[in-house]
Amino acid sequence: MHQAPDLRDTVGWHGTTILCVRHGGRVTMAGDGQVTMGQTVVKGNARKVRRIGSDNSVLTGFAGATADAFTLLERLEAKLDRFPNQLERACVELAKDWRTDRYLRRLEAMLAVADSAHSFTLTGNGDVLEPEGGVIAIGSGGNYALAAARALIDVDGLTSEQVARRAMAIAAEICVYTNTSLIVETL
């Protein structure tokens, strides 16, 4: 029986840049809006950063397949409903499900999540990683944004939002899959 090829492999889906900066008692998450298919930009203002939770106290950003990411965001929100004000526990419970559930294991996305106290990267490998230095970056331009944010975080007088915006601008100059149409949320 012939199986249709996975379009993400044949068309060359590429990603995004999500950056989370914890600095000066605040946390800011920024994401670019570019969506590409192969070498074509199909959308420039996608919303990849959003608030979730019953009181909108959790920032989330995603990289990867959009439908997969939305599935994970719904599951995370359900975990937060079950474990209110316990982001770490909700993330660990989601990661356990993601690793063991046959359907979830096939999802191709990564999440960056943060509340007023914690920031985490969640992966399909079951990882729940809390960053060193208060900076998380995921997606195709993530390494560029991460390096820029780490360099900028020690500049006197910059807020978490200013660090995030400047680092994202640097990433957009380097990564062709990242643009300057940003969604920025701060707690």
Nearest to 186 by CA among 59, 24, 6: 59
User: Can you state the angle between helices 142-152 and 160-174, rounded to 10 degrees?
Assistant: 140
Q: Note if 16 is an active site residue.
A: yes
Half-sphere exposure of 48 (CA within 13 A, CB side): 34
Nearest to 60 by CA among 80, 40, 43, 82: 80
Between CA 20 and CA 112 the distance in angstroms is 7
Q: Select which of 16, 17, 36, 121 is catalytic.
A: 16
The catalytic residues are: 16
